[in-house]
Amino acid sequence: MYKFFTSIIMVGLVLTGCNSTQPKPSKFDKPEWVSNTQGGAVGSCGSHMNGNAAQEEVALNRAITQLAKSKNASVVAHSIGTEKENGLGYTSTNTNNTEVSTDSQVSSTVKEKWRDPKTNIFYIWIVSE
User: What digits encode the pLDDT tens for the residues 13-57?
Assistant: 666 665 555 555 566 788 989 888 888 899 999 988 888 888 999
Quick one: 44 exposed, middle or buried, by C-beta within 10 A (0-12, 13-18, 19+)?
middle
The whole-angstrom separation of Cα 127 and Cα 64 is 9
The whole-angstrom separation of Cα 53 and Cα 72 is 29
Residue 99 is assigned to a structural domain of this protein? yes
Residue 10 is assigned to a structural domain of this protein? no
| Mean predicted lDDT score pLDDT of the chain | 76
Does this model's pTM top 0.75? no
Quick one: 22 exposed, middle or buried, by C-beta within 10 A (0-12, 13-18, 19+)?
exposed
Give the bridge partners for 98, in sequence order: 77
Residue 18 is assigned to a structural domain of this protein? no
Q: Taking the CA atoms of the chain, what radius of gyration do you get in angstroms?
A: 25
Among 40-44, 58-62, 78-82, the minimum mean pLDDT is found in 78-82
pLDDT of residue 49: 87
Q: What is the count of structural domains for the chain?
A: 1
Residue 24 is assigned to a structural domain of this protein? no
115 pLDDT above the threshold of 70: yes
Residue 52 is assigned to a structural domain of this protein? yes
**What is the residue range of 119's domain?**
38-128
1 pLDDT above the threshold of 90: no
pLDDT of residue 42: 92
